[in-house]
Structure 1
Amino acid sequence: MNKDSSQTALLWIVAAGFFMQALDTTIVNTALPSMAHSLGVKPLMMQPVIVAYTLTMAMLTPASGWLADRFGTRRVYFTAILIFVLGSLCCASAHTLGELVIARVLQGVGGSMLMPIGRLAVLRAVTGEQYVSALALISVAGQVGPIVGPTLGGWFVQAITWHWIFLINVPIGAAGLFMVWRYLPRSSGTAAPPFDVIGCALVSLCMIAFSLAFDAPVQTHRAAWSAGLFALGLASAFAYVPYARRRRDPLFKLALFGEPNFSVGLIGNLVCRVGSSAVPFLVPLLMQLELGYTPLHSGLMMLPAALAGTVAKRWIAPLIRRYGYDTFLLVNTLIVGGSIVAFALISRGTPVIVSLVVLAIFGAANSMQFAAMNSITLKGLSHEDAGSGNSLFSMVQMLAMGLGVTIGGALVSLVAAHWDSVALGFRVSFASVGAITLISALIFRGIEEAPPARATVKAVAAGGR
């Protein structure tokens, strides 16, 4: 096989991984009420199904690059797809919520390696001049997943059963396994430096504790449990600082935070994405539980957000070049937060066209928000720190996704239980997570503006979320 054919095969293999990972983060949302009914639990108790997946990916993402160096890209990528497919089969076979959560953890183990190692494989195989184009090509698969995911999930639930939202990964994964085995060149591992197991454990404990603190898994003494988990998260974070100072090659160098925009972007991303991540979880539940929509109808309603987000990607670079990162993020964050708060006003009497417009505005603004936040956070890092900074940034993204689902679902449940009104619970939840997103506009005011690098903006815009 010549070089061009080998690169083409590689792009298709990575695109398949991107598609599976992106599809799986969205296809589940519209099926949650049907899954809850089948498993004998309340729909608002289903957030662990999503949180378990995102937290697992967050914890294991830093290890993906080390595994690829130690055991070879081909071997690790093949294993990642295999684990993801096995996890999908276990999800489809689950009979209880506990079994499904455990299966989602297994699925997250494979998913944590799909995108990072895919990007790494392309980076190593494609020349610098062609990398942006290659990344844009495979990112199309990542964009198609969120577009078809909610609708496909709703259709599976209505036409067949919810189990097929996981079984769909089996034929795609099988094709990916064959292509990896057939077309990816064999690569032996290298003498990679020792992996920072203690540092990874401290960071992972911090993320798990913070996530559980917002929805303590106990009914009695909930406030005490939440406070204790929050304190544990803070202690883990503070313990990492002296540990990283003593270790010669820590998981994340403290020097990363010497780049001002990285620190501001990281905190702004975490806060902003809480609201953005709650929307895909809450909106299908609102539509099915309160507005009386079918799973397919609620999935189709999510299409405007995904399509608007895809179209809006082409506006990012010119807007940033014209107004700068600080002004763009200030205004766009207000639009994202405002659109999330607007979901609180949607009721049975709201015209469908109004709901579609709000969803489209949210989708377009949110897509541009992700690309701009990605760019401003990473563009100032040195070549030496880029890999480590990107891994930490990916972990924060996944943590924010889990927090958004946890906080959004917990608020609905708490308000519904206290005032006996699920509708009020949704209104309070949307208003609260929207307010959290609006707060991030103040954080982004700390950005130190510099002339944007055109290639960097284009690359991040192409790279998606």
Structure 2
Amino acid sequence: MSDVTAGPVPQLARPNFRTIALIIASAMFMEQLDATVLATALPTMAHSFDVSPAHMSIALTSYLLSLAVLIPASGKVADRFGARTVFTCAIIVFVLGSVLCAQAPTLPFLVGARLLQGAGGAMMMPVGRLVLLRTVEKKDMVSAMSWLLVPALIGPILGPPVGGLIVTYLDWRWIFYINVPISVLGIVLTQIFIPNMREHKREPFDLMGFVLSGISLSFLLFGFEMTSRGALEEAPLAFALIVLGIASGAAYVVHARRPRDFAPILDLSLMRVRTFRISVIAGSLSRITQGAQPFLLPLMMQIGFGMSAAESGLLTLATAGGSMLMKAAAKPVLRRFGFRTTLVWNGVLSSLLYAACATFRPDWPQWAIFLVLMVCGFSMSLQFTAYNTVAYDDIPPTRTSSANSFYTTFQQLMLSFGICAGAMALTASRLVSGHLHPALGDFSVAFIVVTAISLLAAPVCAKLPANAGDAMSGRRNKQRRAAEVAI
């Protein structure tokens, strides 16, 4: 298929949006599954490398470092070399890193392989979404996002049971080998169905912005991750990293606001678009809670309930079942109630469902826990389908690439911070209670803390225009929105 520009795709050249969404979602599923499976296997890998389990956290943070540094550049790279080319190369780099991880004889070798794997993941996720935004008609966007999000949400849920089964019955190296067949299939389907869209207008690359944003995001991620461990001896270094991250972020803001003939690596002017700004802010608050749940829930079931990793993982599959049910319901719900009403009230509902996890106890019937988690998965998936769709409602086609890079960067940052927020709340409750190890009450406190964060998103969503996203959901307007959408 020949290269095409970034404008609308002619109808005859447009593949079925479900096909495109599922190809991209499969890559995202592989990436999300890999991260959560690895977390389950870290103790076994530590024994293999003859290091303490605490030292294995670098295998997770090295991957996050690649994401933090490279995601902001994803849109520019796709515009220059073509979305299909970059997406294919990203899968190749990811699977090459996976094979090297599986062959790693030492921890330093594994860290280097994880950096390479993260470089592929940093391009795979945002460029995949960019392909979807540029190839799917606006009226099909809600359905396409529903198909896209389900595998991406299922990945973290499947991770614990899959990881438990692999380390129990196979060698931990199979955690990385399972990426190979998925990658090969993804590469073949990408070459067949994905158009190689690119911008023919060449702009200079914002090297200074790339360096400043990379330093800021990586320092903040490492700083928050160290803070979440609750180790007093690491507190000065964690504090220094957070301060340096904030300082370099402030330097980036000054740099980005300077007049220039090309767009900065993260275009802050996009925040002037109301629907985009609200989706970024409210979505960031909600994603902190979403990032914390897959971390807190398996730990509570294993430490507090005494379940095995496989048992707790199988129970949390209820969340994946709810996500699957949402796929068919998202567009009818948004067509009936609109984006603003759905995001406000479903946001409150999903937060209360998160809070319900704080009341789980070992004597609860498993069917009751399963039911709550299934409804939670449905509500959570609906919320993020709406966020990820309405964000681009008023973004012109020429700025889609910049908006996607900006949005994906904050999405990844907030999900990572969600894990840190959950860990910090759990550690703080344990220290205040004087417990040597987390107790059930400490998990309840952590769930309530992260729930309070997501509740703050509802009043932000209430500021959306009443008919925001109507063209995407097919909802009929009583009157058309004013042409001016930026304030």
Higher relative helix content: 1
Query: What's the CA shift string for 1:163-214, capped at 9, x where partnerless?
Result: 3222100122234445667887889995632221211222222222332333
1:85 CA displacement: 0.8
- Matching of residue 212 in structure 1 with residue 212 in structure 2: no
| Counterpart pick for 2:444 among 427, 430, 434 | 427
Residue 451 of structure 1 and its aligned partner are, at CA, apart by: 1.1
Mark the CA change 1:354 to 1:182 in structure 2 (over 3 Å): closer, same or farther: closer
Aligned equivalent of 1:443: 460
Shift of 1:273: 0.6
How far the C-alpha of 1:289 sits from its partner, in A, is 3.2
The equivalent position to 2:27 in structure 1, one of 20, 33, 40, is 20
**Alpha-carbon distance change, 441 to 11 in structure 1, aligned in 2, over 3 angstroms:** closer
> Which stretch of the first structure deviates more once superposed, 47-56 or 165-174?
47-56
For 1:195, the equivalent position in structure 2 comes to 205
Question: TM (normalized to structure 1)?
Answer: 0.82
When structure 1 is superposed on structure 2, of 388-397 and 372-381 the one drifting more is 372-381
Which of 234, 252, 255 is 1:240 aligned to? 252
Which deviations, in whole Å up to 9, do the C-alpha atoms of 1:372-402 show, x marking residues without a partner? Answer: 2223333233333332122111111100111
More divergent stretch after superposition (358-367 vs 259-268): 259-268
Map of 1:63 onto structure 2: 73
* 1:89 and 1:166 in contact (8 A); partners too: yes
Query: Which residue of 1 is the match for residue 479 of structure 2?
Result: none
Aligned length: 458
TM-score w.r.t. structure 2 length?
Answer: 0.79
Residues 384-440 of structure 1, C-alpha deviation per residue, up to 9 Å, x if partnerless?
333212211111110011111122234434544652132244333222222222233
**Aligned partners of 2:194 and 2:352: how far apart in 1?**
46
Q: Does 1:174 align with 2:175?
A: no
Find 2:88's aligned residue among 58, 78, 86: 78
Change (3 A) 1:314 1:149: same
* Correspondence list, 1:260-271, <5 A: 260-271=274-285
Q: Which runs of 5+ in 2 are unaligned?
A: 3-9, 476-487
Q: Please say if 1:354 is aligned against 2:368.
A: yes
Q: Secondary structure at the match of 1:214?
A: helix
- 2:284 is paired with a residue whose SS is helix
Shift, 1:321, TM fit:
4.2
**Structure 2 partner of 1:456:** 472
Q: 1:419 to 1:318 in 2, by over 3 A?
A: same
Instruction: Work out the CA distance in 2 between the residues paired with 1:163 and 1:303.
Output: 24
Map residues 284-323 of structure 1 onto 2, 5 A cutoff: 284-323=298-337
Q: 2:243 aligns with which of 231, 236, 239?
A: 231
Aligned mates of 2:137, 2:331 — CA distance in 1:
23
Q: Is the 8 A contact 2:318 2:377 kept in 1?
A: yes
Aligned to 1:164: 174
State the Cα RMSD in Å: 3.9
Measured after TM superposition, the shift of residue 259 of structure 1 is 1.8
How do 1:397-416 and structure 2 match up within 5 A? 397-413=411-427, 415-416=429-430
Note closer, same or farther for the CA distance 1:405–1:98 as it changes in structure 2 (3 Å cut).
Answer: farther
Contact preservation (8 Å) 1:27, 1:152: no
Percent of aligned positions with the same letter in both sequences? 33
Post-superposition shift, 1:54? 4.4
Which secondary structure state, in structure 2, belongs to the residue aligned with residue 155 of structure 1? Answer: helix
Q: Which amino acid aligns with 1:428?
A: V
Moved more, 337-346 or 71-80: 71-80
Judged with a 3 Å threshold, the aligned counterparts in structure 2 of structure 1 residues 33 and 112 are, in CA distance, closer, same or farther, namely closer
Once structures 1 and 2 are overlaid, which stretch shifts more, 179-188 or 195-204? 179-188
